[in-house]
C-alpha cells in the first residue's frame, strides 16, 4: 500500500550566488501552486521546528523542485527538457 505522506524539496538560488533548500510535506504540484501564489506577495515564510525563515521572493533567480511534476502543462512550460552540461555540449561538436 502506498503511503499518503509526500515530501518535496525546494531549492532557492539567490542573486548573490548562494542557495538554500527546504523540505515540505506537500506534493511537487502543491508546492508549484503555492509558489505561483507567492509571486503576488513579497515574502515566502517557512516554519521550521525551531524557527521561521522568511525569504524575499524578488531576490530569487531560480527555484528547483524535486521530484518533478509533469502534470503542469501549458504556456511557459517546456516538456521533456534536458540540462546541457559542458561534457554533453562537447559531444555534439
Tens-digit pLDDT profile for residues 13-38:
999 999 999 999 998 888 888 888 87
**How many other C-beta atoms are found inside a 10 Å radius of the C-beta of residue 50?**
5
∠ CA(18), CA(71), CA(69), 5° rounding? 30
- The three cell numbers locating residue 59: 531576490
Q: What does the pLDDT profile of the chain (93 residues) look like in tens digits?
A: 445 568 999 999 999 999 999 999 998 888 888 888 877 888 889 999 999 999 988 889 999 999 888 887 888 888 888 888 876 666 666
Residue 84 CA: distances (Å) to CA of 36, 58, 72: 26, 27, 22
Amino acid at each position: 500500500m502506498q503511503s499518503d505522506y509526500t515530501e518535496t524539496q525546494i531549492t532557492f538560488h539567490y542573486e548573490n550566488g548562494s542557495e538554500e533548500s527546504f523540505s515540505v510535506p506537500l506534493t511537487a504540484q502543491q508546492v508549484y501552486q503555492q509558489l505561483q501564489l507567492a509571486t503576488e506577495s513579497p515574502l515566502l515564510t517557512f516554519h521550521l521546528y525551531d524557527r521561521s525563515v522568511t525569504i524575499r521572493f524578488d531576490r530569487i533567480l531560480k527555484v528547483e523542485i524535486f521530484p518533478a511534476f509533469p502534470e503542469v502543462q501549458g504556456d511557459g512550460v517546456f516538456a521533456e527538457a534536458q540540462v546541457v552540461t559542458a561534457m554533453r555540449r562537447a559531444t555534439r561538436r
